[in-house]
Amino acid sequence: MNFREEFKLLLRARYPLIYIPTYEEERVEAAIREEASNQGNRPVYTWDFVDGYQGNPNDVGFGRRNPLQALEFIEKLPASAPAVLILRDYHRFLDDVAIARKLRNLSRLLKSQPKNIVLLSPRIAIPDDLTEVLTVVEFPLPAAAEIKVEVERLLQSTGNSLSGKVLDDLVRSCQGLSMERIRRVLARAIATHGELRPEDVDLVLEEKRQTIRQTQILDFYPATEQISDIGGLDNLKDWLIRRGGSFTDRARQYGLPHPRGLMLVGIQGTGKSLTAKAIAHHWHLPLLRLDVGRLFGGLVGESESRTRQMIQVAEALAPCILWIDEIDKAFAGLGSKGDAGTASRVFGTFINWLAEKSSPVFVVATANDIQALPPEMLRKGRFDEIFFVGLPTQEERKAIYDVHLSRLRPHNLKSYDIERLAYETPDFSGAEIEQTLIEAMHIGFSQNRDFATDDILEAASQIIPLARTAVEQIQQLQEWAAAGRARLASKHNPLSERLRRTT
């Protein structure tokens, strides 16, 4: 059910108090006025703290700087007269005992009258004593069809046109922005060169980065890494390449559902985060990074509101990749945080969305300690697959050295003994191999020469890999994967080499 259908139903059912969290006052008020007009031309009154009531010449300015008087105005209207009253930013006054009591009184009075009070707010902030009388209705960001109408209107006003593909690309790039921001950035493009052009997509993407940055929840992450930058992990790469076209219309016509997501479990530094970035680049989708810690706020209801905002933005940007790094740290010890159940409610909202989402948001979650995650997170249906990313085998270490050295020294790659380097660095993760090469470069640079194989081996001898400092934890994680609880990311069993060395 979309917003208009739900709002129409609430009007007909005489829901007295409706709460709409949105930043788009102008757009939501236009939708409310249109629906009120369809419901027998109901009068619409708007109130804000500075200007008071607007909409009726006889009552202009009534209730100015007096939120209680704004509610008393409703009792001045004839009982049988239908009306919709919009109160802007009214969430700021809900903690006042007189306001809360008046709203509860009005909720009983208006059940028998054709009147509805709509509270507009940029966020959900409802005191406990009003949760039973307020009905929250989500107002979504503009859909692709609505954006296309606006872009075509602007094109008509400038007298220019765009090809179908360019128009679709521009509309897709605008998804996830409010209509006000879309108009603003397109107006900027028109002011720059007098018309809309294909390259204006970059302007829109920059505006989108700014918008997402302002949420302070999601980051618009540049994805330049490629699948070829990942050394090893052949099973995982094959799985990703096979699903490369799963977000296309052709896949929908074939009957394929949108891929849901992927859980990458394994030891630190083995390429889980690199894989998330490479997926976005390979599938040509925007990459959003979620820091789960940012979901938690200090105010009552703020954490749940931020979670819903994160979901709304991600779905508006779909198709996209939502990358959640180290999800195990966010939801570890869920029942013992002493936060009055906030973490549990956020977790519940999040996993329900994972299970029920129909939008093409591909979730890539990484975790180092799988046993810290609640078992509900690992249930089938949340993710398409759970992959275990272990320590690289000798063959995979060769591939990792080859990737890094091809980037650092492509002109003399053959001068390095990659076979020997891979053999001499057992237990090294991909991140530790990269750090080894950086240390070798420091050695060569300090002596005014290029670094060589011996410098890399000297650097490796000075690094103690995590596999030796956290033996028990890593062995426990490897045994968990060896029990068949996750699919192995490598074609060659990454546990075999390690198990041979420990026996």
Could you read off the pLDDT of 22-36 as tens digits, one per residue? 989 999 999 999 999
User: Which one, of 243, 270, 247, 278, lies nearest residue 385 by Cα?
Assistant: 243
Q: Each residue of 299-343: pLDDT tens digit?
A: 556 787 788 888 888 887 788 899 998 888 877 666 554 555 777
Look at residue 503 in the predicted model and tell me its pLDDT: 42
Q: What does the radius of gyration of the chain's CA atoms come to, in whole angstroms? A: 28
Of 187-191, 371-375, 432-436, which has the strongest mean pLDDT?
A: 432-436
Instruction: Out of 1.10.8.60, 1.10.357.10, 3.40.50.300, 3.40.50.620, select the CATH number for domain 394-426+430-464.
Output: 1.10.8.60
Give the whole-angstrom CA distance, residue 346 versus residue 193.
46
Give the separation between CA 27 and CA 410, rounded to whole angstroms. 55
DSSP notation for 181-235: HHHHHHHHHHHHHSS--TTHHHHHHHHHHHHHHHHTSEEEE-----GGGS-S-HH
Confidence band (pLDDT; 50, 70, 90) for 121?
very high
pLDDT of amino acid 286: 83
448: which DSSP letter? T
Domain 3-136 has CATH 3.10.20.340: no
More confident residue, 40 or 116: 116
Is residue 89 within 8 Å of residue 49, measured between CB atoms?
Answer: yes
3-state secondary structure of 170: helix
Going by the DSSP 8-state scheme, the letter that residue 258 receives in this structure is P
**Cβ neighbours of residue 215 under 8 Å, at least 6 residues apart?**
309, 310, 313
Architecture label for domain 227-389: 3-Layer(aba) Sandwich (3.40)
For 423-461, write each residue's pLDDT tens digit: 999 989 999 999 999 999 999 999 999 999 999 999 999
Q: Supply the pLDDT for residue 124.
A: 85
Angle at CA 113, nearest 5°, toward 111 and 114? 110
User: Does this model's pTM top 0.75?
Assistant: no
User: Which is nearest to 166 in space by CA: 212, 123, 197, 135?
Assistant: 197
Q: What is the pLDDT of residues 194-231, one digit of tens each?
A: 888 888 887 887 887 777 777 778 888 877 788 888 88
CATH 3.40.50.300 region(s) of the chain? 3-136, 227-389
**CA–CA gap between residue 382 and residue 56 (Å, rounded):** 52
Confidence check: pLDDT of 364 > 90: yes
**Amino acid 334: pLDDT:** 62
